Amino acid sequence: MRPPGRRGVPPVPPALLLLLLPLLVVLLGAPRGVGAGTGASVPAELRVRVRLPDGQVTEESLQADSDADSISLELRKPDGTLVSFTADFKKNVKIFRALILGELEKGQSQFQALCFVTRLQHNEIIPSEAMAKLRQKNPRAVRQAEVRGLEYLHMDIAVNFSQGGLLSPHLRNVCAEAADAIYTRQEDVQFWLEQGVDSSVFEALPQASEQVSLPRCGQVGDRGKPCLCHYGLSLAWYPCMLKYCHSRDRPAPYKCGIRSCQKSYSFSFSVPQRQLCLWDEDPLGW
């Protein structure tokens, strides 16, 4: 008699096949679902380690949204201030925002927000679609900008927050905490008015006419007195120019990299009360 063994080896039970089948379908289906989720409208983000003008290292985040045609940048200063910058290429507007931490032990509120809005010039920063394609080979590298600059801007006009969307759709989000402290300049206003922006966005600052003679806040002892306030910030690193290379194999120069810039800004603006400008203690303003 043969042992019953061989004959008795059962085939793979059909029930097991039925269990394996959905598993394969799920695995095959998953990548397709993920792919469908990454539409072109998701902003591209780049995180870079950068050296600040004072030598300290911080992390900076850069985002490009090629659909909205805008670039934004965010970094934290060593004193805790959160600085953000938005370039709106569609409206020729750039927005700087500073969230300044108050010193609670000095009776200051938790933070104070400031917004400065100025005209975005051509070629100040690379186009958003080029920015969206930037990748870095070594994310741990500390980046130091190639080109440095400093600009002084005297802000003599206030922006009405509730009308701000007429100037740039980004203003509502970026400057919400700074609704009473959004500043711009007469010369930028002139440009935007020529572009068709409604004049209801802009309001002369109350002390505009006597601003020149206002004392600097750093020299005013009385916290209730009006004065001229200064605030400085830096964009530690940003791609400001595209680099073009030449090759024998190509008929025309082609994009092969970027040049990076660091830019510092010193804003001055009038405040109705010295206490709205408590950081301005150093007579040199920084």
CB of 187 to ligand NAG, least distance (A): 22
Minimal CA–CA distance to 63: which of 111, 125, 114, 17?
125
CB of 138 to ligand NAG, least distance (A): 48
Task: Identify any residues that bridge with 97 across adjacent strands, giving them in sequence order.
Answer: 84, 115
The smaller minimum CB distance to ligand NAG, of residues 85 and 202, is found at 202
The smaller minimum CB distance to ligand NAG, of residues 85 and 161, is found at 161
CB of 68 to ligand NAG, least distance (A): 25
The smaller minimum CB distance to ligand NAG, of residues 184 and 260, is found at 184
CB of 158 to ligand NAG, least distance (A): 8
Question: In sequence order, what DSSP letters do the residues of 47-79 get, joined into one string?
Answer: EEEEE-TTS-EEEEEEEEETTTTEEEEEEE-TT
Q: Which residue of this chain has its Cβ atom nearest to ligand NAG in the complex?
A: 160
Footprint on this chain of ligand NAG (rule: CB under 6 A)? 160, 162-163, 200, 203
Count Cβ atoms below 10 Å from residue 251 Cβ, excluding itself. Answer: 6
The smaller minimum CB distance to ligand NAG, of residues 132 and 271, is found at 271
The smaller minimum CB distance to ligand NAG, of residues 89 and 161, is found at 161
Answer whether 261's CB lies under 8 Å from 151's CB. no
CB of 119 to ligand NAG, least distance (A): 21
How far apart CA 116 and CA 168 sit, in angstroms, is: 13
Minimal CA–CA distance to 85: which of 99, 96, 70?
96
How far apart CA 282 and CA 212 sit, in angstroms, is: 19
The smaller minimum CB distance to ligand NAG, of residues 173 and 200, is found at 200
CB of 161 to ligand NAG, least distance (A): 7
Answer whether 175's CB lies under 8 Å from 164's CB. yes
Residue 203 tokens, joined: 């309001």
The smaller minimum CB distance to ligand NAG, of residues 74 and 203, is found at 203
Q: Residue 195 — φ and ψ, nearest 5°? A: -80, -5
Answer whether 99's CB lies under 8 Å from 177's CB. yes
Residue 202 tokens, joined: 């802009």
CB of 181 to ligand NAG, least distance (A): 12
11, 71, 196 from 20: Cα distances, Å: 15, 47, 64
